[in-house]
Structure 1
Amino acid sequence: MYNLDIVTIVVIAANLIISFKGFQDYSFRSKYLFNIAGIERGEQWRFFTSGFLHADQRHLFFNMLTLFFFSGAVVRELGDIKFLIIYLVSLLGGNFLSYLFHKDEYHYSALGASGAVSGIIYSGILLDPGMTIYFVPGYVFGIGYLIYSFYGMKKLNDNIGHDAHFGGAVAGFILTLIYNFDVVYTNTVTAIGLLAAIIVLFILMRFTGNR
């Protein structure tokens, strides 16, 4: 059920190699993590490179395990190339949302593949609503992931880009509809449920603040 294809293996390998380099080399990690002051200096690469760094081994393991569970549905339904596009666009979309939320906080830093993984989670659920993760329905996992992100945004004390979770989920949801709009008709309840979860959490963020 959870067969890995070559593209997923490459993505996971890249995260492992770059993250472990960051664990061992603080200057490397500082140069490539998401940082508002660095971006304002013109270091736009941080939007991309921060998505391959992680706060610690537990953070890395959780993200890669989640990617492992959900990537198969996306690859199976859309193919390797579209899976990779969703992954990368969700990564960038998540970090762009973080930039919009924190652009006036020059000391704000974050890292992690959470935005990209969120995009794959929502894409996978939309394409295969019946999927389960150890008997837990995939949609429960996905909505729980967004709720976790919302409360993580309120804490902001672990250097993990929690608002990137939300931005990545939105990007993954929209791209999946672009690639396969038929899911609106075949998986209507799931599509409406995921969209409702996104809208509710967006409203909560707007009215309670993102911190």
Structure 2
Amino acid sequence: MNNIQIPPVVKNLLIINGIMLLASWVFEQQGVALEKYLAAFYFDSPFFRIWQPITYMFMHADISHLFFNMFGLFMFGGILEHKWGPKKFLNFYLITGLGALALQWLVQGFEAYQITGSFTNDLQTLAISSPNDIETLRSVYFGPMVGASGAVFGVMTAFAVMYPNMELMLLFIPFPVKAKYFIPIYIVIELFLGVARIPGDSIAHFAHLGGALIGFILAKIWKDKDRFYNYYE
């Protein structure tokens, strides 16, 4: 895996994400928060803009957020791009990122519906009965989502589908673990964290799960399709 040259789409994604974090820092020094315009907000939020479902994938909160996402993209994305080709891999990456946001919106919409009885509301006319409800709605309508995590989870899941027996050497585990074991365990942990709603946890776990779900579906379809064509060649 270390000897694989970084293919063009993965390389450009790494560069673009790095540039966007640098741009965020530069604009922040000038008193402009790019996050307000390029992060993804709930579709009924007054801050939502039509381009955000794409731009949010290239925004990151800080250097550690960027590093772990780009490390995952580098580790798993290059192999998939070599297999699928640049165009197919880029389409996969963007689709899984959109799927991540779609599931996050679905969860946010459900939270809003539980409180107000609707997925879309005029916030100024809402009669909220408790501070917890107000805080939940504030999080739904005004909480930005940034990062490539959803797309990267899609990439990781697709890797496990395409190469289930590939052994991974991980920093925190002293022995190799096959992809078909590590990735599902990671996804189960994300599901637990998403359902648990631990106070202070601002990570969009359901976005990770959305990316993983779409990544699994696409990879499974493409893998079965390749197997079908290879069988009849």
Please give the range of the TM-score, normalised by the shorter of the 2 chains: 0.7 to 0.9
**Which aligned pairs between 1:1-211 and structure 2 lie closer than 5 A?**
1-2=1-2, 3=4, 4-26=6-28, 27-36=33-42, 39=45, 43-103=49-109, 104=112, 105-134=140-169, 135-153=176-194, 154-155=197-198, 157-181=200-224
Q: Which amino acid counterpart does residue 174 of structure 1 have in structure 2?
A: I
**Structure with more helix by fraction:** 1
User: Which structure has the bigger radius of gyration?
Assistant: 2
Q: Distance in 2 between matches of 1:119 and 1:126?
A: 11
User: Aligned-pair distance for 1:40?
Assistant: 5.4
**TM-score, normalised with respect to structure 1:** 0.77
Unaligned runs of at least 5 residues, structure 2: 113-139, 170-175, 229-233
Contact (CA 8 Å) 1:126, 1:183: kept in 2 or not?
Answer: no
Unaligned runs of at least 5 residues, structure 1: 186-211
Contact (CA 8 Å) 1:23, 1:29: kept in 2 or not?
Answer: no
SS at match of 2:92: helix
- CA RMSD in angstroms comes to 2.4
Distance 1:37 1:174, change over 3 A: closer
- Describe the superposition over 1:128-186 as per-residue Cα deviations: whole angstroms up to 9, x where unpaired: 1122221232233312331342244223735432211100011111111232215889x
Q: Distance in 1 between matches of 2:60 and 2:19?
A: 11
Runs ≥4 in structure 1, deviation > 4 angstroms? 37-42, 182-185
Contact (CA 8 Å) 1:67, 1:117: kept in 2 or not?
Answer: yes
Greater shift, 38-47 or 112-121, is seen at 38-47
User: Aligned-pair distance for 1:69?
Assistant: 1.1
**TM-score, normalised with respect to structure 2:** 0.71
Q: Which amino acid counterpart does residue 74 of structure 1 have in structure 2?
A: L
